[in-house]
Chains A and B, each alone.
Chain A
Amino acid sequence: MYIMDDNVIEVKGLKKKFGDFEAVSGVDFEVRKGEIFGFLGPNGAGKTTTINMLCTMTRPTEGDASICGHDIFREKGKVRESIGIIFQENTLDEKLTAHENLMLHCRFYSVPRDEREKRVSEVLRMVELDDKRNEVVENYSGGMKRRLEIARGLLHYPRVLFLDEPTVGLDPQTRTHIWDYILELKNREGITIFLTTHYMDEAEYSDRIAIMDHGKIIALDTPDNLKKKVGGDIIELVTEDNERARGEIVSKYGKEVKEKGTTLSFNVNNGSEFLASFIKDLDVEVRNINLHRPTLNDVFLSLTGREIRDEVSNGKKKPKFGPHH
């Protein structure tokens, strides 16, 4: 039996090499029971490899990990029974109906025979697809498919739910809808959620966030603490002469200034008070200025040098800044 413990996932020194390339170079972390654990990082950081190892799909080169006390390598079957996975891509059988997809899942996971219909109806009701149960999935909209996948992932009552980009490519309304289900589920069933996402607002739902880059975990804390670490508030401004403004900020206030296109930014404590005197004192004319509390995107940016959202639009990257960059 699984010993009651606060940690649902325990990872120690997990490593994965593909030939000479070290995709994951020794990560350690714990996921606590009932929390939403955000797992962020730029593409190629090793997130997917880490998840694949936790889901028993990829064999680790070194290190240990356990889910609900079951070793991911030696007790694959037990691990697989205790996790549910919502993949980034569609993994439904579109030629089959929702009901058929769900019944197959029950059989793969040996859900007790006399409970199957009950559970299928229960999850279908939860994602409001009960009336579409006998429709072939091909005819579903993108949002309906996603909801059905979430429903399917819950059929065998997993203790941990892996959500890999659960709402990628969906419209904002559907995303909100899906998150309502996820949060309700978390509160009602106490399911632990392991989340990867490129949406900042989604990452905000996390109780704790790990940020991974170059195969390592470079930060792990609550969203609030991570933001605090960025160092105060962020001021962004555009001026008539950025070069001069930059020199002035550095010499007068000793701040490190970042330049992003035509925008300068730097961090200060007590931003609102600072701002009033700052504009008065600055010799360069300011075209526009804004002050904001650090977001997860700022955290991400300061830790990895990239923005979370840069990663979303693979392939069709717009040149965001002027050609001189």
Chain B
Amino acid sequence: MEAIFAVWQRDLIKFFRDRARLLGSFAMPLMFLLIFGIGMDGALSSMLNVSGMDQLSNFNYVSFIYPGIIAMTVFSTSIFSALSVVNDKEEGYMKEILVSPVSRTNVAIGKILGSTTVAVIQGLLMLLFIPLIGVEVGIMNIAKLLPIMFLVAFTLSSIGMMVASTLKTSTGFQAVIQVIIFPMLFLSGAFFPLNGMPDWMNALVKINPMTYAVDLFKHAMLDVNSMNETLRQAMGLNLSVFGHQVRTWEEIAFIMALGALFVMLATLFFNRSE
């Protein structure tokens, strides 16, 4: 137990000590928020005004994309944090850990929890943008968001750990992770409402676990119940698979199951490595 805590704490100390990484982690989401948020917002509202749909006058692209960007931050931070495992191999520290009496399973779990925590912190830091962009997010929303963030971060960290266990170089790791993360992000509904897609893309979206994660983030952060049906539909908040409207608990159960699966696989891979 203490070893898990030690491995976890080490990653956190290093996270807070690395100022450049801390600041850099803001850059990407902020850029997305500014470019997409401001750029698309104007374009979308002018289109919606032309089409003259009054019911959509409340469509605010910034509030649509904001949960998506927080989700993106949590995804990429958690999956990329496993880079520390590869770095430890490259820099030699992994040897110190592996010759110690700590079991490999505990090392893997400590590392996964470290990445999870870092990702949750990063996600929470994104909430600092709230006053800046004028969206309404209450304390209750944040309370709902927190466990979801943790769950999603844990699952993604396990995937990252699984990949990191099989690779020896950080460049290799980054290449593989980018191939995994970008399609997952762009086909998750984080950046555009999942409406009117061709069937093949719709199929990809529906098998992408991140779709359900993003949906959870949106439902936690947006006041979905006070929206009218047309707006809800336009924002892609009525996620359904085979005509079945997906419920929140189902999404949570699905991501939990994935988390359990990947944490097992990650531990297995890490135990087998070298």
Contacts and interface: CB of A to CB of B under 8 A. Distances in A.
A87 B95 contact: yes
Contacts of B102: 108
B99 A57 contact: yes
A247 to B, nearest CB: 54
A109 B101 contact: yes
Interface in B238-262: none
Given A95-B17, A96-B13, A100-B13, A108 B95 contact: no
B3 A107 contact: yes
B18 A109 contact: no
B105 to A, nearest CB: 13
A95 B18 contact: yes
Contact of A92 (B5, B13, B18, B93): B93
Most buried by B among A77, A87, A91, A152: A91
A108 B93 contact: no
Interface in B65-124: 91-93, 95-102
B6 interface: yes
A110 B2 contact: yes
B3 A108 contact: yes
Contacts of A83: 99
Interface string B8-20: 0010011001100
A206 to B, nearest CB: 23
B95 A96 contact: no
A27 B274 CA distance: 23
B101 A87 contact: no
Q: How large is the interface on A (under 10, 10 to 19, 20 to 34, 35 or more residues)?
A: 20 to 34
A144 to B, nearest CB: 16
Contacts of B101: 77, 80-81, 108-110
A154 interface: no
B161 to A, nearest CB: 19
A301 B187 CA distance: 65
Contact of A107 (B6, B17, B91): B6
A70 to B, nearest CB: 12
A77 B93 CA distance: 19
A18 to B, nearest CB: 13
A87 B91 CA distance: 12
B199 to A, nearest CB: 48
Contacts of B100: 80, 105, 108-109
A55 B100 CA distance: 10
A116 B2 CA distance: 14
Most buried by A among B97, B100, B274: B100
Contact of B6 (A80, A89, A108): A108
A56 interface: yes
A94 interface: yes
A112 to B, nearest CB: 11
B95 A91 contact: yes
Interface in A64-94: 77, 80-81, 83, 85, 87, 89-94
A170 interface: no
A91 B2 contact: no
A92 B95 CA distance: 10
A104 interface: yes
A48 to B, nearest CB: 12
A94 B18 CA distance: 12
Contacts of A85: 99
Contacts of B18: 95
Contact of B92 (A90, A96, A104, A108): A90
A133 to B, nearest CB: 15
27 contacts: A55-B99, A56-B99, A57-B98, A57-B274, A85-B99, A87-B92, A89-B95, A90-B91, A90-B92, A91-B93, A92-B93, A93-B10, A93-B93, A95-B18, A96-B10, A96-B13, A96-B14, A100-B13, A105-B100, A107-B3, A107-B6, A108-B3, A108-B96, A108-B101, A109-B100, A109-B101, A152-B96
Across the A-B interface, give the 5 residue pairs with the lowest CB-CB distance, nearest first: A108-B100, A107-B6, A91-B92, A80-B101, A91-B96
Interface of A: 55-57, 77, 80-81, 83, 85, 87, 89-96, 100, 104-105, 107-110, 152
